[in-house]
């Protein structure tokens, strides 16, 4: 906790870039000492016994290490910690009864305590966040997670709404993973397997419709019950519902980018809703807030939970309406934030590079210009702009995460060829210059904020 608190303090007050090529200052030396002490404690013999207490301690420490590394910009190391934690959970879930007589705390519900449910939930959610960036650790859904039938017509809590949505996301990524493995190993699915996938897809779509109806029915009650910050969290779930609906419709054809053209209005809705959320966030964090009001390049809000970056990144990758795509990337840079493995500035950089790879000189004779304020609805002209043909679109965007702000990032993606095959496009980038981008964008944020106030 001391190491994590130290890194968080550095992030909030903007003390340089952690993990830079410069030698560690006194603050970072303190962080590293506490970090090493924590690791040394976990290597003590008592933690090798694998009893309830030791397993819980290791998993809690693992989650703290994940957050610490993500805050330090060491994404690769943080992701490795995440995969270690997920593998430990998955391994335990496959062993209901251990040979040494100890019961698995994760499968024996009658003996589970609240901390066990919290650990499962925390790692599952962090893994879902990573999966949305093509990272994380693949896990098949449990039978219980595929049951979306609610017990009432309204949500009893925001947590209930979140858990139901998380279950559907887990199944969506499971279907996408199955498809990609079949493609990778060139194994053709048999008819029963295809029917099974279609049935899961149908159940997910039905569940999303039910979720939407419950969300609308619960809105009035939650407007009264929730405080301002919780209301923002509840609004955020709507962004994820739109993304889940688009993914559910396209998950069995993840290499068919033309399928996303049917969801233009969903993408526009995500942008409109994101702007409303930005206004709500600014209303909560007034100008006296010492963190939110910072204008320096180090402005960074960190959360180990979901934020708006994954849905906006998803929109920037898959929406080929030129003006909407550019507006999405601007939004990602408007409020620099870190959400688990996600960094909004880094996500904007990746999305912009993918856009450049796809577009090339396609719009050279008809430049895309979008000076409209974020809170303006897109005009019909913007929605009718020519979109990219299939031959220019890329899919399966993969990013080799850097392990320090000075390390290069490797970006790869695929593009289908006319002969039925595909080409792999690989590019390497310096991540460091993103600091300059952040400075420029933070300077522009004040102008955007005024536009939102008018």
SS3 sequence of 274-302: HHHHHHHHHHHCCCCCCCCCCCCCCCCEE
> What does the alpha-carbon distance between residue 59 and residue 19 come to, in Å, rounded to a whole number?
25
Mean pLDDT in residue range 378-388? 66
> What does the alpha-carbon distance between residue 271 and residue 269 come to, in Å, rounded to a whole number?
5
> What does the alpha-carbon distance between residue 340 and residue 195 come to, in Å, rounded to a whole number?
35
Helix (H, G, I), strand (E, B) or coil at 258: helix
**DSSP for 15-56, written as a single string:** -S-TT-SSPP-HHHHHHHHHHHHHHHHHTSGGGGS--HHHHH
How wide is the angle at C-alpha 316 spanned by C-alphas 372 and 208, nearest 5°?
105
Instruction: Out of 68-77, 113-122, 298-307, 384-393, pick the least confident.
Output: 298-307
- What integer pLDDT is reported at residue 99 of this predicted model? 44
- What integer pLDDT is reported at residue 413 of this predicted model? 95
Residue whose C-alpha is closest to residue 162's, from 125, 127, 135, 217:
125
- Kindly tell me if the per-residue pLDDT of 330 is higher than 50: yes
- What integer pLDDT is reported at residue 373 of this predicted model? 57
Residue whose C-alpha is closest to residue 400's, from 17, 134, 181:
134
Q: Where are the alpha helices (DSSP H) in 134-227?
A: 158-184, 191-225
Contacts of 234 (CB under 8 A, 6+ apart): 158, 161, 222, 226
How wide is the angle at C-alpha 172 spanned by C-alphas 170 and 177, nearest 5°?
95
Summary mean pLDDT of the chain: 77
Residue with the bigger pLDDT between 311 and 431: it is 311
Residue with the bigger pLDDT between 28 and 311: it is 311
- What integer pLDDT is reported at residue 145 of this predicted model? 47
DSSP state of 396: E
Which tokens hold the place of 405?
């702000």
DSSP state of 387: P
Surface-to-core class of residue 157, CB atoms within 10 Å of its CB (0-12 exposed, 13-18 middle, 19+ buried): middle
- Kindly tell me if the per-residue pLDDT of 239 is higher than 80: yes
Highest mean pLDDT among 115-129, 207-221, 298-312: 207-221
pLDDT per position as a tens digit, 251-275: 998 889 999 999 999 999 999 999 9
Mean pLDDT in residue range 341-359? 93
End-to-end CA distance of the chain: 43
Percent of the chain exceeding pLDDT 70 equals 66
- What integer pLDDT is reported at residue 186 of this predicted model? 59
Mean pLDDT in residue range 120-135? 84
pLDDT per position as a tens digit, 360-369: 998 887 666 6
Give yes or no for a contact between 452 and 279, defined as CB atoms under 8 angstroms apart. yes
Give yes or no for a contact between 432 and 287, defined as CB atoms under 8 angstroms apart. no
Residue 434 gets the label, from left (phi > 0), alpha (psi -120 to 50) or beta, of alpha
- What integer pLDDT is reported at residue 214 of this predicted model? 93
CA atoms within 13 A on the CB side of 351: 31
């Amino acid at each position: 906790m001391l190491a994590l608190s130290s890194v968080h303090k550095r992030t909030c007050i903007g003390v340089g870039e952690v993990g830079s090529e410069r030698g560690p200052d006194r603050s970072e030396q303190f962080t590293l000492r506490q970090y090493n002490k924590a690791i040394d404690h976990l290597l003590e013999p008592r933690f090798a016994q694998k009893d309830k207490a030791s397993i819980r301690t290791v998993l809690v420490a693992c989650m703290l290490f994940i957050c610490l590394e993500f805050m330090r910009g060491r994404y690769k190391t943080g992701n490795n910690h995440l995969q270690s934690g997920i593998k430990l959970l998955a391994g335990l879930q496959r062993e209901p009864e251990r040979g040494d007589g100890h019961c698995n705390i994760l499968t024996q519900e009658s003996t589970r305590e609240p901390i066990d449910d919290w650990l499962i939930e925390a790692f599952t959610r962090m893994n879902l966040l990573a999966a949305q960036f093509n990272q994380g650790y693949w896990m098949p859904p449990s039978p219980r997670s595929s049951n979306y039938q609610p017990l009432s017509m309204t949500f009893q809590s925001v947590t209930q709404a979140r858990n139901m949505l998380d279950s559907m996301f887990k199944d969506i990524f499971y279907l996408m993973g199955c498809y990609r493995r079949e493609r990778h190993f060139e194994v053709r699915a048999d008819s029963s397997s295809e029917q099974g996938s279609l049935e899961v897809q149908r159940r997910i779509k039905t569940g999303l419709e039910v979720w939407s109806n419950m969300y609308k029915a619960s809105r009035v009650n939650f407007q009264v019950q929730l405080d301002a910050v919780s209301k923002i969290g509840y609004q955020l779930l709507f962004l994820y519902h739109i993304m889940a609906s688009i993914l559910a419709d396209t998950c069995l054809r993840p290499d068919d980018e033309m399928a996303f053209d049917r969801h233009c209005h969903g993408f526009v809705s995500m942008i409109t809703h994101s702007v409303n959320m930005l206004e709500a966030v600014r209303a909560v964090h007034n100008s006296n807030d010492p963190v939110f009001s910072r204008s320096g390049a180090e402005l960074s809000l960190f959360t180990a939970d979901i934020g708006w970056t994954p849905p906006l990144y998803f929109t920037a990758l898959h929406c080929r309406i030129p003006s909407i795509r550019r507006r999405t990337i601007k939004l990602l840079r408007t409020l620099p934030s870190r959400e688990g493995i996600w960094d909004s500035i880094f996500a904007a950089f990746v999305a912009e590079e993918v856009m450049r790879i796809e577009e090339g000189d396609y719009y050279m004779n008809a430049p895309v210009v979008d000076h409209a304020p974020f809170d303006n609805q897109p005009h019909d002209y913007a929605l009718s702009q020519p979109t990219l043909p299939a031959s220019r679109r890329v899919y399966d965007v993969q990013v080799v995460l850097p392990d320090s702000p000075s390390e290069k990032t490797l970006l790869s993606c695929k593009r289908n060829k006319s002969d039925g095959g595909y080409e792999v496009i690989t590019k390497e980038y310096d991540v460091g210059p993103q600091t300059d981008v952040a400075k420029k964008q933070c300077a522009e944020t004040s102008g955007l904020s005024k536009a939102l106030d008018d």
